[in-house]
A and B are shown apart, each in its own frame.
Chain A
Amino acid sequence: MTEERHIFSVLVENRFGVLARIAGLFSGRGFNIDSLNVAETDDPAVSHMTIVTHGDTQIIEQIYKHLNKLIDVIKVTDLTVENHVEREIILIKVYAEPQRRGEILQIMEIFRAHTIDVSPDSLIIEVTGDEGKLKAVVDLLRPYGIQELVRTGKIAIMRGAAKQ
């Protein structure tokens, strides 16, 4: 069976131990988490998780059902099958000697990236976007020498009217 990437949007009670339960669900079954983002929602009693994972249809179905089965999980949506938007932020610390800084700034402009810190021979750059855009930026910056790179993992949301 072919493997597919899926993005689950999961609303959970903002309680002690919830993250461990979700992580345990994956690790106990040998399923992988590609990325995971957790934060409070507008309602401080509720947290939102965006989980990116992959697997064949059977595994994805199991993940969906087991997420739903956890007592602290309020709602699970498989965004992959819904019309949604996704974003991720990367912070990149790249070598930027004064003579090459101009080229880098040009690349950044194309991708609407921001400089958030400058030191004598490096820059910290912040880029927001979907997977394709972020990959393009990283590929273009790599030749300059990436010192460090951190990403938030995806966050995603369904388009259109709020579904309850």
Chain B
Amino acid sequence: MELSGANILIESLKQEGVEYIFGVNGGAAMPIFDALYEHPDVKLIMMRHEQGASHAADGYARATGKVGVTLATSGPGATNLVTGIATAYMDSIPMVAITGQVFTHLMGNDAFQECDVIGVTRPVCKHSYLIKSGDEVAEVIAEAFHIASTGRPGPVVVDFAKDAQIHESLFRYPEKINIRSYKPKVDGHPRQIAKAVELIHNAERPMIYAGGGVPLANASEELRELAIKTGIPTTVTLMGLGAFPETHPLAMEMPGMHGSCCANYAFTDSDLVIAVGARFDDRVTGDLAKFAPNAKKIHIDIDASCIGKNVPIDVPIVGDAKRVLAEMNKLVHRVDIEPWMRQIDEWKEQYPFEYQQNGDNIMPQYVIEQIYDLYSDAIVVGDVGQHQMWAAQYFKFTEPRQWLNSGGLGTMGFSLPAAIGAQLGCPDKTVVNINGDGSYIMTIQELVPAITMKLPLKIFIINNMYLGMVRQWQELFHQKRYAAVDYHDNPDFALLAEAFGATGIRVERIEDVRPALEKAKGITDGPVVIDFIVDEEENVFPMVPAGAGLGDVIRGLA
């Protein structure tokens, strides 16, 4: 049967098991939206901004492990998607971003709403396609999903000319994808694995350093087995939180700039770092010259170009974390590292995450502790700033894909739309959005679809009336010159939520924190927004100043 390119697209998405597309309509994508109209299987979620649409697709992908799909029109629709595509790219999130493009005969003519989307997105996506004819659609979509979801996952952009959307051709979906130039290596080399195991068995002060690649590879089980079988202490980065339960005695919590002293000191003293799906990001390593200076390094990663990029590696293992760890687990045994474990436990005991109560103010960390107490099983979607770090520190994540955040690009505004995607992907879970006052207002418009769909999101704003993270740097490194961070002109977020049609609660006193959180639990017919008015100038500690070594962590202001 002959179908239009737009209909072939939707049929192809159906073949890929797509449930939701997050999009905003516009001229050059109208045939696609038309094909989606009242579609029984592939549901269009109408977002209020393309950035929101892309983050929602991203949040869906992070929560479920499936490919997220976003759709926008040409020109401004497509450029609005760029932040979301870049966000997904930095965190290796499988996504297919579809953009309408002007008619092929107009391309290159500065036509109305024309933009070279392939050019604009090239450095921020894994791959991209331009569809100029309807008969290319099925194959392009099959390849796009394959590339987005295999190897090191990432966003794939499909730019779709309007005439190709209309043009009719025969629909036949490829059964198998074979791209001769793309064959990700998934099995680790046995000799490298044997070498790694030998290092593990001979180390005196080993540690596991796991990153976002572990949940991405669904390798948390295998990671747990490795840590528990060997008895090696484990730190999990901001991107991987939950891959190893933070409540486990071997857990050292997050490393890096605002990580635990224990994890950072461990790096500094360790003689063997076993990196799994982590990329030695500068926010983790601090000054490279002082990073784990005494340690041999094993690096397991699906992306060869990640290995040895920042830090020289003794045993590189290119492969899928799940497969490599499973092979390693067959060979490892318990290691005898008594004195090292005593040291680790001592650090943990001595330097837990802690804060001081300031008068009657609601301390932001206290709010997170209470959220954890009441919502420990929830999926938590964090935004970017101090509140993100406090959430990472004070909420104890125990499951992979339980903590979603824009760790790589650090995109403010990510969390509310991402929470929408996560909730749609995981309808039986409670989804908590921990937001900042600055970040929240960047994508506040996405409250509308959340309300329309009656999603029971718990939106908790840690409102310090500042771009707090920047203010903290200004306090510490710019002599308190608070340039362009004062947000005391914030609107009343509770009232605003009510105006949108959600439940809004403003909390200004410590004793109201817990009751408000409890009340939010009972609201299940739509989103609830709680505006927690917190201590304005609280800082995030510990802190490794940018450019310093991990050993030089500032534990707090005396």
Residues on A facing B (Cβ under 8 Å): 12-13, 16-17, 20-21, 24, 28, 58, 61-62, 65-66, 68-69, 71-74
Tell which of B94-102, B121-129, B426-434 binds the partner: B121-129
Beyond A12-B181, A16-B130, 7 extra complex contacts between A and B, CB < 8 Å: A13-B181, A17-B128, A20-B122, A61-B308, A62-B309, A68-B305, A74-B181
- 5 interchain pairs, CB-CB under 8 A: A17-B130, A20-B122, A24-B122, A28-B123, A71-B126
Contact call B304/A65, Cβ cutoff below 8 A: yes
A69 touches B305 (CB 8 A): yes
Chain B residues, Cβ within 8 Å of A24: 122-123
Which residues on A sit within 8 Å (CB–CB) of B118?
17
Q: Which of B119, B147, B180, B308 contacts A74, CB < 8 Å?
A: B180
When C-beta atoms are compared, the residue in chain A nearest to B122 turns out to be: A24
B290-310 vs A: 1/0 string, CB under 8 Å? 000000000000011100110
Task: Flag if A71 contacts B305 (CB, 8 Å).
Answer: no
Is B179 located at the chain interface by the 8 A CB criterion?
A: yes
Cα(A28)–Cα(B124), bound, Å: 11
B182, CB-defined interface residue at 8 Å: yes
Chain B contacts of A20 at CB under 8 A?
A: 119, 122
Q: Across the interface, do B304 and A69 meet the contact criterion of CB distance under 8 Å?
A: yes
Using known A-B contacts A16-B130, A17-B128, A65-B304, determine if residue A71 contacts B181 with beta carbons closer than 8 Å.
yes
Q: Give the distance in Å from the alpha carbon of A16 to the alpha carbon of B122 in the complex.
A: 13
Q: Which residues of B pack against A, CB within 8 Å?
A: 118-119, 122-123, 126-128, 130, 147, 179-182, 303-305, 308-309
The chain A residue with its CB closest to the CB of B307 is: A65
Q: What are the residues of chain A within 8 A of B309 when measuring CB–CB?
A: 62
Give the interface centre of A16, A28, A65 by most chain B CB atoms within 10 Å: A65
How near does chain B come to A77, taking the closest CB pair, in angstroms?
A: 14
Given contacts A16-B130, A61-B308, A62-B309, contact A71 B122 (CB under 8 A): no
Q: Which residue of A lies closest to B318 (CB)?
A: A65
- What residue in chain A is nearest B181 (Cβ atoms)? A74
Expressed in whole angstroms, the minimum distance between the Cβ of B302 and any Cβ of chain A is: 11
The minimal Cβ–Cβ distance linking B460 to chain A, given in whole angstroms, is: 38
Smallest CB gap from A72: residue in B: B181
Given the complex of chains A and B, what is the CA–CA distance between A74 and B178 in angstroms?
A: 13
B133 to chain A, nearest CB (A): 13
Q: How far is the CA of A103 from the CA of B433 in the complex (A)?
A: 82
Candidate in B127, B130, B305 with the most chain A CB atoms within 10 angstroms: B305
The 7 closest A-B pairs by CB, nearest first: A65-B305, A74-B181, A71-B127, A71-B182, A65-B304, A28-B123, A69-B305
The residue of chain A having its C-beta at the shortest distance from the C-beta of B124 within the complex is: A28
Known A17-B128, A65-B304: A71·B119 in contact at CB below 8 Å: no
Residues of A contacting B181 with CB < 8 Å? 12-13, 71-74
B179 interface neighbour in A58, A62, A71, Cβ under 8 Å: A71
Which residues of chain B are within 8 angstroms of A12 by Cβ–Cβ distance?
181
Q: What residues of A have a CB within 8 angstroms of the CB of B147 in the complex?
A: 71
**Closest chain A residue, CB of each to CB of B132:** A16
Chain A residue numbers with a CB within 8 Å of B127 are: 71
- CB contact under 8 A between A66 and B305, given known A13-B181, A17-B118, A74-B181: yes
Contacts of B126 in A (CB 8 A): 71
Rounded to whole Å, the gap between the CB of A9 and the closest CB of chain B is 15
A66, closest chain B residue (CB): B305
Is the CB–CB distance between B123 and A69 below 8 Å?
Answer: no
Q: Would you call B179 and A69 a contact (CB within 8 A)?
A: no
- What distance in Å separates the Cβ of A91 from its nearest Cβ neighbour in chain B? 31
In the complex, residue of chain B having the shortest beta-carbon distance to the beta carbon of A65? B305
**Nearest Cβ distance between residue B318 and chain A, in whole angstroms?**
10
Chain B residue at minimum C-beta to C-beta distance from A63: B305
Q: For residue B127, which residue of chain A has the nearest CB?
A: A71
Q: How far is the CB of B215 from chain A (nearest CB, A)?
A: 22
Cα A74 to Cα B180 with chains together (Å): 7
In whole Å, how far is A105's beta carbon from the nearest beta carbon of chain B?
47
CA distance A117 to B47 in the complex (A): 65
Residues of B within 8 A of A58 (CB): 308
Measured in the bound complex, the distance between the Cα atoms of B179 and A16 in whole Å is 16
Closest to A20 in B: B122
Q: Which residue of B lies closest to A21 (CB)?
A: B122
A132, B10: Cα distance in complex, Å: 59
Contacts of A66 in B (CB 8 A): 305
Given the complex of chains A and B, what is the CA–CA distance between A24 and B120 in angstroms? 11
Residues of B within 8 A of A13 (CB): 181
Considering the chains assembled together, what is the distance between the CA atoms of A74 and B305 in angstroms? 16
- Chain A residues in 8 Å Cβ range of B119: 20
| Nearest CB of A to B526, in Å | 42
Of all chain B residues, which has the CB nearest A74? B181
Give the Cβ gap from A21 to chain B, nearest Cβ, in Å: 7
Residues of chain A within 8 A of B308, CB atoms compared: 58, 61
In the complex, what residues of A have CB within 8 A of residue B179's CB?
Answer: 71
Find chain B residues with CB under 8 A from A68 CB: 304-305
Name the CB-closest residue of B to A69.
B305
Tell me, rounded to whole Å, the shortest Cβ–Cβ distance linking B279 to chain A. Answer: 13
CB B140 to nearest CB in A, in angstroms, measures 12
Chain A residues with CB under 8 Å of B122's CB are 17, 20-21, 24
Q: Nearest chain-A residue to B305 (Cβ)?
A: A65
Return chain B residues, CB-CB under 8 Å to A21: 122
- Evaluate whether A69 and B130 lie within 8 angstroms (CB atoms) in the complex, with A21-B122, A24-B123 already known: no
Shortest C-beta distance, B117 to chain A (Å), equals 12
User: How many angstroms between the C-alpha atoms of A12 and B127 in the bound complex?
Assistant: 14
Give complex CA distance A20, B130 in Å: 14
The CA-CA distance from A13 to B182 in the complex, in Å, is 11
Interface core residue of A12, A24, A71, A73 (most chain B CB under 10 Å): A71
* Nearest CB in chain A: distance from B490 CB, A: 37
Q: Are B180 and A69 in contact (CB under 8 A)?
A: no
A71 to B: closest C-beta gap in Å: 4
CB-based nearest A residue for B143: A71
Residues of chain A with a CB closer than 8 A to B123's CB: 24, 28
Indicate which residue in A16, A17, A62, A72 contacts B305 across the interface (CB closer than 8 Å).
A62
Complex Cα gap A136–B181 (Å):
40
The answer to whether A69 touches B303 (Cβ under 8 A) is: yes
